[in-house]
Amino acid sequence: MWPAIWLVLLMVCVWGFPYADGVLRVIEPDARQVVYQRASLASLLVQHLLVVSAAAVITTASGVLAAIVVTREWGRNFLPLVAQVASLGQTFPPVAVLALAVPALGFGTLPIIVALVLYGALPIVRNTLGGIQGVDKEVKSASAAMGMTGWQTLCQVELPLAAPVILAGIRTSITINISTAAIGATVGASNLGDPIIAGIVNGNMAYIIQGALTIALLALTVDSLFERLQERLRSRFYTS
């Protein structure tokens, strides 16, 4: 129920703000313009989702793969290195990552994707490690006794049992990055951060509210969808 409610509210904001001049005028009665019109919120929403999705695919694929490698017998020596690299991304604020990335990558979308990948790696790596390491050793021994190879045990036993925990890490990473992606507007990446930055620059609170409220509802929608998916995974793997 909640995902549908948040999605409806998100759509109301995206399609309703262009016609909410009277309401927004209450917030900024002296502003010459209160409805953000440089780009439609719908197009900014799509671009915001594309940036976050691209970063999520890269982070999830690399983070889960790295965690799998270091939980194999032949890759355990790399566990400290992977943990440190994943933690490193969160020691640098995204703004600092952008400042370092822009000179090498230029302005636009690519620097913010790099920042989101670095910033979102830790929850995925940590939860994947925790989920796989938390699988009962007796269960893995039983799979080996049944003649399963290491690859079969990983795909048919470890990953399915660890899936809810892994998904929780992906959920945290993506939800955080939905908000963090707004800073991409400072380096020319067009997304829902545009109204916020424009509002700060022009001292227009109405602009800020349009961007911030849309981002918040998007984060709530995505988070609630992941919560529903987690519940289904738990009911599938942990109930008989």
Share of the chain above pLDDT 70, in %: 98
CB 230 within 8 A of CB 168: yes
Name the pLDDT band for 240 (thresholds 50, 70, 90): very low
Q: What are phi and psi of 6, to 5 degrees?
A: -65, -40
The predicted-structure confidence for 35-72, as pLDDT tens digits, reads as follows 998 899 999 999 999 999 999 999 999 999 999 999 88
Query: Strands, DSSP E only, in 81-125?
Result: none
CB 189 within 8 A of CB 112: yes
CATH code of domain 41-237? 1.10.3720.10
Helix (H) or strand (E) holding 173: helix 159-180
Dihedral sign for Cα 156, 79, 171, 239, please. Answer: positive
Contacts of 171 (CB under 8 A, 6+ apart): 223, 226, 227, 230
Name the pLDDT band for 97 (thresholds 50, 70, 90): confident
CB 182 within 8 A of CB 173: no
Q: Is the pLDDT of residue 80 over 60?
A: yes
Look up the pTM and report it: 0.89
Compute CA 115 distance to the chain's CA centroid, rounded to the nearest angstrom.
12
Q: Is the pLDDT of residue 101 over 70?
A: yes
* Boundaries of every domain in the chain: 41-237
Say how far apart CA 116 and CA 112 lie, in whole Å. 6
CB 63 within 8 A of CB 128: yes
Mean pLDDT of the 144-171 span: 87
Pair of tokens at residue 199 = 């509002």
Q: Is the pLDDT of residue 92 over 80?
A: no
Name the pLDDT band for 150 (thresholds 50, 70, 90): confident
Confidence at residue 239, expressed as pLDDT on a 0 to 100 scale: 55
The predicted-structure confidence for 164-186, as pLDDT tens digits, reads as follows 899 999 999 999 999 999 988 88
Q: Is the pLDDT of residue 90 over 80?
A: no
Confidence at residue 214, expressed as pLDDT on a 0 to 100 scale: 96
Supply the Cα-derived Rg of the chain in whole angstroms.
21
Say how far apart CA 236 and CA 24 lie, in whole Å. 46
Least confident of 37-51, 81-95, 118-132: 81-95
Q: Is the pLDDT of residue 209 over 80?
A: yes
Dihedral sign for Cα 157, 160, 166, 168, please. Answer: negative
Q: Is the pLDDT of residue 237 over 90?
A: no
